[in-house]
Amino acid sequence: MEIRDYIALGALLATFIVFIFQVHDNAKQVRLKNFTTYTKRYQDIFLNLPIDIDSDDFGLKKLTENENTLRWLRAYFDLCSEECNSSPCLI
């Protein structure tokens, strides 16, 4: 092998290494974007749920007709399911 062959091989190896780092960096950015999106959606849901929803005496029958609690609870369960289907689920 001549020197130009070694240079070409080195350039190919360097290109491959840069490609691997770019793929890894891109995957990390996608995970961060997904995490940020899910966190924002969870926050929106919890801001629209009644404050006492986690108390033992909470009941849907106590709510007035104009409250959208059932809609927000469905959105919460849909989001949980969506998150479970898009990434490894811990449940």
Model confidence, pTM: 0.63
Lookup: tokens for 29: 């950015």
In a domain, 63, yes or no: yes
The pLDDT assigned to 87 comes to 63
Number of domains the chain contains: 1
pLDDT tens profile 1-46: 799 999 999 999 999 999 999 999 999 999 899 889 999 999 999 9
pLDDT tens profile 61-80: 777 655 688 888 889 999 98
In a domain, 91, yes or no: no
Q: Give 90's pLDDT tier (boundaries 50, 70, 90).
A: low
Considering only the C-alpha atoms of the chain, give the largest distance between any 2 of them, rounded to a whole number of Å: 84
Alpha helices of 48-87 — where are they, by DSSP H? 69-86
Domain of residue 18 covers 3-86
- For the purposes of burial, counting CB atoms within 10 Å of the CB of 42, is it exposed (0-12), middle (13-18) or buried (19 or more)? middle
DSSP state of 8: H
Q: Say how far apart CA 48 and CA 59 lie, in whole Å.
A: 16
Alpha helices of the chain — where are they, by DSSP H? 3-47, 69-86
